[in-house]
Structure 1
Amino acid sequence: MHSRSRSRVWCGTAAVVLGGLLVTGCGGDGQVDATDAADAGKAASGAYPVSVTDCMGAKTTFDSAPKKIVTSNASSLELLLRLGAGEQVIGTGFPPGKGTLPDELDAQAQKVQVLSDTVIPKEKLLGSGADLYIDTFASMNMGGGMGDAPTDEEFKAAGIKHIYLKSTACAATSKSALTDLSGVEADITSLGQVTGTSTKAKELVAAMKSKVDAVQKAVGSTAQDARPTYFFFDFDAGTKQPMAVCNRQVANAVITLAGARNAFAECDGDYKQVGWEDVISKNPDWIQLGVRNRGSKAANEKAFDEAEAWLKSNSATKGLTAVEKDHFLRIGSEQTTIAGVENATTVETIAKALYPGKVG
């Protein structure tokens, strides 16, 4: 699901994304044009039509709230559930494992039809009866004989509007480093506009801002050179050659807001394969054991244990400062690297570990 798996990443008319408000990335640079602002105002009052723009400004217009939504994976599904739009979801790919979402969302998630355990096959997606497909990532080629993704024309012929989560889909081609969660908040706002749940979207965004603002108040004045360095260890990406999160990835914003310095913040893009010699030269103060959700707490803990044991036993990493001091954070990959409400919670969790006593 990472960017390295994508066959191509772009921010043009082929990738319509959720962003009536043009924010960080893909040519938006945080600017909001007059038309977008007007549409956002209409959506906030529950009025349609509502137009949302892609990274290049091309519009997709909704005359009413979609009734049959398919989501590409658990992250976009979770956002819809949190917004209260779960009843409109008729299917998903990459489904959440039972018990992996908070209690109040888990039962709802388990009722959603699973169209694929991975990427939804083209014909199944086009024949799903959906009127909206929400894709977390840009065009992907995951292999496995699933064929190419549907074209714009094929989506149109099937009556399916195709939109993306901007903060993730366009991260790699953002013009500047991601150091805040404004893009994620704009995705939530736009989903609220499209689905007629703007009131709930505002509540979710306000709660995120409250958490992040509290952390910033506690650690924001810490000088850059006094901030601990931080390495996101993507254990599931493989240990032979580590995968670093770069400054266009939402994880960079999460790490930065928590008062840390991403060890690979100088890397432009979202992900980059590096060597263990590069990690050793950075000698991070803290390491996050980035494990993807295994479907249960017990399975997750086992994976965290395995990641930690590998770092402690490997000759290339056992001498790292973070390893010797047991400076590990057991925080899942998804809430760190994929846009969502939990990004703000992760900011808070990291800050509490790095600044004990300062962050409540």
Structure 2
Amino acid sequence: MRGRVRFGVVGAVVGLAAAVGCGGGGGGGGAGGGAARGFPVSVSDCAGGETTFSSAPRKIVTSNAAGLELLLRLGAGDKVVGTGFPPGKGALPTALDARARKVTVLSRGVIPKEKLLGSGADLYVDTFASMAGMGGGAAGVPTAEEYRAVGMKRVFLKSTACAAERKEPLTDLSAVEDDITALGALTGRSATARRLVADMRAKVTAVRRAVGGLPRDQRPSYFFFDYDAGTRQPTVVCDRQIAHAVITLAGARNAFGDCHGAFKQVGWEDVVAKDPDWIQLAVRNRGGAAANEKAFDEAQRWLETNPATKGLSAVKRGRFLRIGSERTTIAGVANADTVREIARAVHPGKVR
């Protein structure tokens, strides 16, 4: 499910996923109206089905901070009229943070169906194939007919949404690059998308030159500790998740890279058996630097005091990385920064 972008004579077929049957007419006019430059644009879903946009959307709602951040970085933030799961204060660079504060928060969690359908948006960018069951008071998930009735198309960030359909392990960031390229095409910001992708590739390429050729036995094992997923039974990242690609590109070895899919619950005895060399304290953004540090402290303290984990090699040696969950597991330009940050920590002196 990591097909490359294919541009044709009359338009584009791009990698972002679109909900089958969720299309009405196009979403508003692009610059100049009519057959806007770069359109029509067709987007594919996880199964390869396509939905066509005759022009750029005028009003967009994002399911969470991932889609919002990408649109802001593309320069399409003025089109975003609402979001769920908003980014915490200070989670984005200063200029982007200021713009993000201006976006209406439709929900601190999953956007209720009535609010989403009544938002007036003609495009909904969803980070996951289904946000149901994730909390936030969602009052059901709209049907294809309900999306169509209000003239709203729904697309997904395929790098996350298509994990279940992915047939091979995710070992690079091409799926994330495809999401950026697709959103750029849909919003008429293809040139900006190309610049963002080029910058990501430059960072990752530098790391791969330094540590990408390391054989498996020279790669330190790495455990992504999803503290906010609960400590009674750990949730680990598997080989179809973006985090697996980030860890692999950084010259490390995902301790649970032998499980297939996106996430899996295991037992602490499984973590002990892996005895990872490094542990990422992957907490979710709390809305500010001080709150985030407190959460990192809590996660580290839990590992250091829990009888099942305090004897782990990484815990005894203090080999912790304080890197937020979102920038590791959800599509964004920060995925490349995370690759570099992990590589610098686990391979000191090799990555500049």
Q: Is the TM-score greater than 0.5?
A: yes
What's the secondary structure of 1:191's corresponding residue? helix
Please list the CA deviations of residues 240-284 of structure 1 after superposition, one character each: whole Å capped at 9, or x if unmatched.
110010001000000000000000001001000000000000000
Give, in whole Å, the separation in 1 of the partners of 2:10 and 2:120. Answer: 31
What's the secondary structure of 1:298's corresponding residue? helix
Matches within 5 A, 1:1-360: 23-24=1-2, 30=3, 39-40=12-13, 46-142=37-133, 143=135, 146-360=138-352
What's the secondary structure of 1:171's corresponding residue? coil
Q: Structure 1's 144 and 330: CA in aligned 2 closer, same or farther, altered over 3 A?
A: closer
User: 1:146 Cα shift?
Assistant: 2.7
User: 1:172 Cα shift?
Assistant: 2.5
What's the secondary structure of 1:140's corresponding residue? coil
Give, in whole Å, the separation in 2 of the partners of 1:356 and 1:240. Answer: 33
Aligned length: 331
User: 1:32 Cα shift?
Assistant: 6.3
What's the secondary structure of 1:302's corresponding residue? helix
Please list the CA deviations of residues 194-222 of structure 1 after superposition, one character each: whole Å capped at 9, or x if unmatched.
00000000000000000000000000121
Please list the CA deviations of residues 166-186 of structure 1 after superposition, one character each: whole Å capped at 9, or x if unmatched.
000111231111000000000
User: 1:31 Cα shift?
Assistant: 6.2
Aligned-pair Cα RMSD in Å: 1.8
Give, in whole Å, the separation in 2 of the partners of 1:195 and 1:113. Answer: 19
Alpha-carbon contact 1:228-1:261 (below 8 Å) kept: yes
| One-letter amino acid of the structure 2 residue matched with residue 262 of structure 1 | N
What is residue 20 of structure 2 aligned with on the other side?
none
User: 1:331 Cα shift?
Assistant: 0.1
| One-letter amino acid of the structure 1 residue matched with residue 200 of structure 2 | M
User: 1:35 Cα shift?
Assistant: 5.9
Give, in whole Å, the separation in 2 of the partners of 1:103 and 1:31. Answer: 32
Q: Structure 1's 213 and 31: CA in aligned 2 closer, same or farther, altered over 3 A?
A: closer
Q: Structure 1's 113 and 144: CA in aligned 2 closer, same or farther, altered over 3 A?
A: closer
Alpha-carbon contact 2:11-2:40 (below 8 Å) kept: no
Give, in whole Å, the separation in 2 of the partners of 1:35 and 1:272. Answer: 39
Alpha-carbon contact 1:46-1:198 (below 8 Å) kept: no
User: 1:57 Cα shift?
Assistant: 2.1
Give, in whole Å, the separation in 1 of the partners of 2:7 and 2:120. Answer: 34
| One-letter amino acid of the structure 1 residue matched with residue 146 of structure 2 | E
User: 1:37 Cα shift?
Assistant: 9.9
Alpha-carbon contact 2:109-2:137 (below 8 Å) kept: no
Alpha-carbon contact 2:4-2:178 (below 8 Å) kept: no
Gaps of 5+ in 2: 15-29, 31-35
Q: Structure 1's 312 and 145: CA in aligned 2 closer, same or farther, altered over 3 A?
A: closer
What's the secondary structure of 2:160's corresponding residue? helix
Give, in whole Å, the separation in 2 of the partners of 1:338 and 1:98. Answer: 18
Alpha-carbon contact 1:131-1:159 (below 8 Å) kept: yes
Alpha-carbon contact 1:36-1:51 (below 8 Å) kept: no
Identity %: 66
What's the secondary structure of 1:134's corresponding residue? strand
Task: Give TM-score, length-normalised by structure 1.
Answer: 0.89
Give, in whole Å, the separation in 2 of the partners of 1:98 and 1:348. Answer: 24
User: 1:148 Cα shift?
Assistant: 1.6
Alpha-carbon contact 1:36-1:52 (below 8 Å) kept: no
Which one has the bigger helix percentage?
1
Task: Give TM-score, length-normalised by structure 2.
Answer: 0.91
What's the secondary structure of 1:97's corresponding residue? coil
Give, in whole Å, the separation in 1 of the partners of 2:318 and 2:124. Answer: 43
User: 1:46 Cα shift?
Assistant: 3.8
Alpha-carbon contact 2:43-2:50 (below 8 Å) kept: yes
User: 1:139 Cα shift?
Assistant: 1.5
User: 1:40 Cα shift?
Assistant: 5.0
Give, in whole Å, the separation in 2 of the partners of 1:325 and 1:144. Answer: 38
| One-letter amino acid of the structure 2 residue matched with residue 162 of structure 1 | R
User: 1:145 Cα shift?
Assistant: 5.0
Gaps of 5+ in 1: 1-22, 25-29
Alpha-carbon contact 1:179-1:256 (below 8 Å) kept: yes
Q: Name which of structure 1's ranges 284-293 and 171-180 shifts more when overlaid on structure 2.
A: 171-180
Please list the CA deviations of residues 311-357 of structure 1 after superposition, one character each: whole Å capped at 9, or x if unmatched.
01111101101001100000000000001110000000000001111
